[in-house]
Chains A and B, each alone.
Chain A
């Protein structure tokens, strides 16, 4: 049975390829905070931004070539400047957004996201002829490979290659990629269930009846599997060229470009893959003839170079070099930069978690939610141009069927509702509680902490601030027996569904696990399992959204934190540059060089 096509256009942005570190404050992908408020010439991006629209594409949508952006020109060399090189080129080890974004240039997946217009995307078949066919109630998924898809040496990409690519993700040396499909095929502890293909053993749960067909047999139904297959971590690797750990340095291209040279942490040059056929690829435009990537430049240098727009930098852009605070007002206020400026709110979820082992009274947790100084924190972060104020656990940019709610009056009273907080505290077990708040000791978080401390004090809550070293921050808050009542944490959806958020941040309670609130509720777990098993993807999405509200109403395990907004620039001779709302990074598919 095919996945039912959504009749209505869902408003969302897609899954985010982010690891815990990528969610951390001050990470490579996240914009830094500004110290000033935004009252510049341009409107606040959060107000102007419209969440992306995504639908499930058809077999016809899955045919190449990609839809070209307006004014597209083929040829030339485009330069990309950023801070860090890619730690991994082996798709099996790719999870972070920067690496997943780059992988689009050199590799392909079974499915992928096709840009149909600015802000509009469709999930389509990439190597596959469509987004797959499910049967057995969502437990079996079948894909057929397109004709004419080839490796860089001209040999055809076969179903055996696709199977091999999934099998090798079970190997001991692979520790960083996504784990969803491996667990669906075998067990939660999938590495024990199967050790990878290098000792000659195959994974029976994947069948390849012929060179074009590949069938995955999951243990349980997964209606959203076609989204999971779009993750770069499930990109393909040829068995004949697989060099295990070494493959991370010598990837074999199935995408539009081949790595011509790579000096680690310094430069990388790409040239066209002559065996990539645009007629088979609905996603990648691959308009420049060559790519030159330069690493080692901080966001400030990237911004200054792109603002100056001189010489070779006119054909330059950045994947993730977000405008730093010291340039933000200048960039937002300069009318000359308007047509070279991009902005997009973060697709990540950001939360101030309560440690439920310590803050046991829901009245206190709700009082803190009411008293929370959202607006003051927004000002510290740079004002509305630099941060939006969401009210839900699931991010509006990464949730199909998103429904807004505002349980604690953040929109009506963004400064905090002290009276309501006091009222709740009066009904609680302790009207003047002391809250130990742990924070990442950065200059911005110092200011945020002052705002929190001051605002909660007005409601009668004494905040004891505990600064933590940024290097050990996650290790400290990840300990089950930590001595903190509240702390910040982030999470990014892997595809546009609550299924990659709620079951994770409220999943297993263990040291180092992302369930930082230590929420352990059998009824909640049962409800999440029930939604995960739902075969109707639309019904599942609606249920996730409803569960989001229910969790905040009945448990209140967290305060929803601010959502950063990235602002980036590109050179005047770069066309088609857009921040991908799913990865929060400038995607390469539409980039072209103007003459």
Chain B
């Protein structure tokens, strides 16, 4: 397995055009300024950056919600442009997403069972019984039980909801999963559980992750490669050890310095400075 590239972005650009009033001048905001990267099957790419740097815009393009203004998106070697072609169920099944906020990403009026079977109903021609079995299987896989099938989202804790969201993303057997800050809304102890679950699932299903985060300790734990974004541009891209060991760009250094550190030497140094 030398070069099994599952996702390739070539020079992706996304512009938002807004007009001030009916005859006002056109404002063009460039949210992404030419993003390129490759992602190998079974690996994890972490995308790091501050709020508003284009991480979520990138996620929206990769999950085929919004089209890119310029540039090419290749999934498993095939070029995909949703501005020109209709999205087939087959394409839908390749890329799925898990959102940051587990309280907003589940429909409050939908039972967990329906949350999990809806994608199957729309994208496959399984019978209701097959869909049900598949949903049950996914529930068990993410650490929930069949008894949760008929419950509503408000009966679950944040960690459980995030498990449901992961199950929903996996139910179509995607090869690529976009994780948009999947643990930043959770308690620390639950964060670890979810991260372990994600690691287990990656190994079991040979999944590829694109992990969006601004928590560097989480990134250090889960990532193979790291991409640092700053105002819509990639300022640093390399393996985890390269980026963490030898940050090149000023912003990356600032970012590392901003991470809270709890080791004794560091605390002593800080106390010495302030004293």
Is A bound to B? no
Chain B residues within CB distance 8 Å of chain A:
none
